């Protein structure tokens, strides 16, 4: 919450407490609130809920974008006349940056829900996620796409 909004909320609380909603009383409440917030400015931190919500919405937006993009890619791949000549399926060992079980599970589910990819397994120590992709032209490209996409957004959302 910004300091201006917090000042307004505190001024309104002042008006409720005093029972007087006149302009002068609201201005006095804003003045007292502003002075109090100035004195404790190092102790007042910005709430992280709005930042986290924005980052979660960004992750959801990326997922829906990847969902549509992957569905189109798989659809175009399947509609090619000589399908077997164009397919290069493979399993890629993706080194995980995320460490918590919930983050690994979320990443694996987002990958599995995206058409053309499937999370196969997680290594014993939780350091590698094995991903099957329907068309692997470059293992490095698959790793880069996951790391710069879903994994980066998950790290941002849950830091």
Q: Which residues of 97-123 are buried (b: 16+ CB within 10 A; e: fewer)?
A: ebeeeebbebbbebbeebbbbbbeebe
Q: Which of 43-47, 78-82, 144-148 has the lowest mean pLDDT?
A: 43-47
Q: What is the mean pLDDT of residues 22-51?
A: 82
pLDDT in tens, 86-116: 788 999 999 999 989 999 999 999 999 999 9
Q: CA 100, 142, 115, 124 torsion: positive or negative?
A: negative
| Whole-model pTM over 0.75 | no
| Residue that the structure tokens 């505190």 belong to | 10
Sequence ranges of the domains in the chain:
3-39, 49-157
**Which of the four pLDDT bands, split at 50, 70 and 90, describes residue 47?**
low
**Which of the four pLDDT bands, split at 50, 70 and 90, describes residue 153?**
very high
As a whole number of angstroms, the distance between CA 24 and CA 36 comes to: 18
Please check whether residue 110 is in contact with residue 62, taking contact to mean a CB–CB distance below 8 angstroms.
no
- pLDDT computed for residue 6 by the predictor: 82
Instruction: Please count the CA atoms within 13 angstroms of the CA of 47 that sit on its side-chain side.
Output: 9
- Partners of 130 in the β-ladder: 93, 121
């Amino acid at each position: 919450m910004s300091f201006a909004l917090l000042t307004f909320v505190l001024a309104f609380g002042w008006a409720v407490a005093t029972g007087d909603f006149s302009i002068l009383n609201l201005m006095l409440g804003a003045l007292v609130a502003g002075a109090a917030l100035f004195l404790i400015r190092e102790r007042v931190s910005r709430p992280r809920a709005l930042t986290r919500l924005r980052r979660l919405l960004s992750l959801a937006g990326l997922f829906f974008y990847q969902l549509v993009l992957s569905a189109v890619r798989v659809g175009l791949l399947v509609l090619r006349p000589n399908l077997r000549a164009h397919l290069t399926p493979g399993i890629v060992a993706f080194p995980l940056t995320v460490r918590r079980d919930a983050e690994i599970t979320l990443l694996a589910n987002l990958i599995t829900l995206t058409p053309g990819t499937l999370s196969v397994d997680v290594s014993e120590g939780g350091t590698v996620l094995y991903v099957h992709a329907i068309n692997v032209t470059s293992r490095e490209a698959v790793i880069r796409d996951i790391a710069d996409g879903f994994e980066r957004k998950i790290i941002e959302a849950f830091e």
